[in-house]
Structure 1
Amino acid sequence: MNDSNIRLDIIRDEAAFTALKSEWELLWLKVNGRYFQRYDVSLLAWLHVAKPRGRALHCIVMRENGELCLVWPLVTHRRALWRYLLPLGSDSADYTGPLMEDRRDAAMLVERAWKAARAECKADLIRLPYMNEGSAIHRLAQREKHILSVQKNVCWIAKLHEYSDWATYTKSLGALFNKKPGQLERRLAKEGKLEVFMMDPKNRKGIAEVIHWILATKREWAEKVNKKGAWLFSRHYENFLVATLTYGGDNAPARIHVVKFNDVLISACIMSHGNPLATGVISGFDLKYSQYKPGSIAWEAAIKWAFEQGYDVDFCPGSEKYKDYWTRGNRSYTWSINVANNTWGLLGYRAASTAKALIAAVKGLKPGSKEATAESGRTGSLPQDPVSE
């Protein structure tokens, strides 16, 4: 890399951000970018999540001889006395990683972008969720002096392109819940009127109703298994999901499949378009119909659609059984790392950890104080973690 040919800028206003559209989209197509790296998905995350929450934009852009070669949208926000830096996203299980060309000096480009983010965005604490293991940004984060917390998650990719047709692929899978693909749908169809279909992206009202329903079912499920996330209660995340299914009409970034039984909605799931890697975004099902595994029926429809489009499928981080099944066990790992960017951030982390331990002691609970491992990560809390709104 000849530094004299590489220019780095940090875009902080919306007009300049949207002006990147054409060259961002060209770069995304050229390098087989992923769903979270799409221009329109990043724009919708800004318009529906980050901007309404008062966050500040810091989009790192690098050009070589005037041609875009890296783009990494980040945001900052203040909580109490500390400023956080994190990737622009939906605030759910979004990956971290810049969109860039695959080139020999890629690691040096990412390092330069990382140093600029640390120096120019004026953050005390940095969140780097779901970095693919071994990626350039993951390797950089691992080397940081003040790592506050580390979490490892399994993630899954179905390599659908390896199969000549749907029948060959499904025959390779074995059984899920003691049923082969197609059997769950056929069984439920014998019980009443069954409809499995993809919604029209122009039906914004209907899609909004289904998204509201999905999040309600997810909250019910989360209550049952005690696995809650702030995004489940966020109106901003709900608006973002609706936008990804309707923005651009037939060219919307994602599509939604629904399952109705006797005219009652019982499951739905969202699958993005791919390049060629699609993303399984979110699903929900009615617990009253759990014996029929309606979520599996919705996922099968979405995966078959992805297969027909020529996509592979990224099922994102999580240990759910269906992910292992549909990917034939093709797993890898992501790492989420929180970093103190300065002494003030480090002091804030220590103060929050001390306060958490004291509260636990007052409640008669044993404070968690085990040392970090590669699997469990470091214990502790960041000051004033974001909460639901």
Structure 2
Amino acid sequence: MRHDLITTNEAIPALREEWEALWRRAGARPFQSPAWLLPWWSIFGTAHPRIAALRDEGGTLRALLPLYRLEEAGTAKLLPMGVGITDYTDALLDPEAPPDAVTHLLATALASETAPCDLPDLPPDAALLAAPPPQGWRAETWPGEPCPVLTLPDSIEALRGPISSNTLRKLRMSRHRADRAGGWSATTARPEDVPALWEHLVALHQSRWTRKGEEGGVLADPKVLAFHRTALPELQAAGALRLHALKIGGETAAVFHTLAGPDRLHLYIGGFDETRAFESPGTLLLGHLIESAVTEGLREVHFLRGAEPYKYSWGAQDRPNTGRRLTRA
């Protein structure tokens, strides 16, 4: 196996094609795709990437760990690309990668480093969580945020098991009210409709959170908005993006940005028209998305970071993330 370390921004674009091929072979989450991380790097990145790559004798990329060095206020540390707005972080591993691939990746990325390496938001199955630290380094962990996950049954009828009776009753009532308000429909955006629908989501999201006293919510940050506008076409081309719209009486009442794969639906961010609160457009759209996921044969719906009560009313159970810090022994 050959170990490479990419430390310049100029060298990153050449990695794009084989990075995506590795991501597809690995069956990894959308958050580990170049369609997500390279737009993030273009907006939030520094001049100090530290991307560790592991290749076999034929030159095929078998494992990848995209880190970067952050220097501020006289201190430095290594972090995973995507940190902050990425709910799950991890290394990328080919099914044919050697068992100790992650340890080799870490050793390559941390070579000659003295700064600590923080790895937040590692899901329970993360390779970075289980791998032993490189020689000369020690590891400690900290508890991360809860990430509720709904395990899907084989049929829509079986959803009555995990979903609370109150939520099912609210869903039925919302559908009746929406029918009386002119009818409702839920659709997945066509590629040509994605940009306009995204801007509609932004407007709904910002309006709702401003009324709650948090000016614009998470989409108030110009850099976050720039990231999403850059990433949308990339994710769409990779087949990971799904932008869903709910209409009541012919007018858009809710929009949800989700990421698909593998066998999962990730509910990333949404916006809802609060003037339609009587019909509960958020409940309507979530119910539709969960039922559609069952019909499609998906196995899980991930509500991502945060312990908001509504997630548990849909039957989700916590799968907490974990943070890991590596420091010189």
Deviation at 1:63, TM superposition (A): 1.4
Correspondence for 1:50 among 44, 52, 55 = 44
Match of 1:63 in 2: 55
Match of 1:238 in 2: 225
Distance in 2 separating the partners of 1:166 and 1:98: 34
Distance in 1 separating the partners of 2:16 and 2:234: 15
Match of 1:73 in 2: 66
Given that residues 23 and 68 in structure 1 are in contact (C-alpha distance below 8 angstroms), is that contact kept between their aligned partners in structure 2? yes
Question: Tell me, what secondary structure is at the counterpart of 2:284?
Answer: helix
* TM-score for both structures, normalised by structure 2: 0.81
Deviation at 1:318, TM superposition (A): 1.9
Q: For 1:192-231, what aligned pairs fall within 5 Å after superposition?
A: 192=182, 194-217=184-207, 219-220=209-210, 223=213, 231=218
Question: Tell me, what secondary structure is at the counterpart of 1:20?
Answer: helix
Deviation at 1:180, TM superposition (A): 6.1
Distance in 1 separating the partners of 2:63 and 2:204: 35
Instruction: Establish whether residue 317 from structure 1 lines up as the match of residue 317 from structure 2.
Output: no
Instruction: Establish whether residue 32 from structure 1 lines up as the match of residue 17 from structure 2.
Output: no
Q: For 1:1-389, what aligned pairs fall within 5 Å after superposition?
A: 6-14=1-9, 16-47=11-42, 49-51=43-45, 54-65=46-57, 66-89=59-82, 91-102=84-95, 106=99, 108-120=100-112, 122=113, 124-133=115-124, 135-139=126-130, 150-160=142-152, 162-163=153-154, 165-169=155-159, 173-177=163-167, 179=169, 181-192=171-182, 194-217=184-207, 219-220=209-210, 223=213, 231-247=218-234, 252-262=239-249, 264-312=251-299, 313-326=301-314, 328-337=315-324, 341=327
Given that residues 7 and 49 in structure 2 are in contact (C-alpha distance below 8 angstroms), is that contact kept between their aligned partners in structure 1? yes
State the Cα deviation string for residues 242-273 of structure 1 (Å, max 9, x = none).
34433375655211112244555432211112
Change (3 A) 1:325 1:8: farther
Match of 1:371 in 2: none
Deviation at 1:102, TM superposition (A): 4.9
Deviation at 1:136, TM superposition (A): 3.9
Q: Match of 1:150, as an amino acid?
A: W
Deviation at 1:316, TM superposition (A): 1.6
Question: Tell me, what secondary structure is at the counterpart of 2:320?
Answer: strand
Deviation at 1:36, TM superposition (A): 0.7
Q: Match of 2:221, as an amino acid?
A: S
Q: Match of 1:191, as an amino acid?
A: A
Change (3 A) 1:178 1:60: same
Deviation at 1:293, TM superposition (A): 2.7
Structure 2, gaps ≥5 residues long: none
Given that residues 63 and 93 in structure 2 are in contact (C-alpha distance below 8 angstroms), is that contact kept between their aligned partners in structure 1? yes
**Percentage of pairs with the same residue:** 21
State the Cα deviation string for residues 46-85 of structure 1 (Å, max 9, x = none).
23x324xx45322211112233221121222322212232
Distance in 1 separating the partners of 2:254 and 2:160: 21
Q: CA RMSD in A?
A: 3.5
Structure 1, gaps ≥5 residues long: 1-5, 344-389
Deviation at 1:216, TM superposition (A): 0.7
Deviation at 1:9, TM superposition (A): 0.9
State the Cα deviation string for residues 287-339 of structure 1 (Å, max 9, x = none).
4444533222222233334334433322222212343344x344322113456
